[in-house]
Amino acid sequence: MARKPEPVPVFETEAEERAYWESHDSADHIDWSKAERVRLPNLKPGATSISIRLPDALLERIKIAANKRDMPYQSLIKAWLAEKADAS
């Protein structure tokens, strides 16, 4: 059986509240049976830097294509890779 969460005390000042939370765990005051799963789709996903060797001529063609689209060439490469990966 789940334990009942402790009620959060009423504080007179912010300093009193700060002192309380410095010495108490907030988990004691949460009713986990009422917790719901959430999705946070707008969080920025992590990124890993990689190194890839491209022939000079290919890189130049990519830069030209990116310039025509008014975007950085690295962003264009990422977009093309994502399209190809999604098509698989």
The answer to whether the pTM exceeds 0.75 is no
Among all chains, which residue has been given the structure tokens 């690295």?
74
pLDDT (mean) for 10-26: 93
- Neighbouring residues of 4: CB distance < 8 A, sequence distance ≥ 6: 31
**Which conformational region is residue 72 in: left (phi greater than 0), alpha (psi within -120 to 50 degrees), or beta?**
beta
Mean residue pLDDT across the chain = 91
> In one letter, which amino acid is 82?
A
Instruction: For 21-55, write each residue's pLDDT tens digit.
Output: 999 998 888 888 888 999 888 888 788 899 999 99
- The answer to whether residue 69 scores a pLDDT higher than 70 is yes
pLDDT value at residue 2: 63
- The answer to whether residue 70 scores a pLDDT higher than 80 is yes
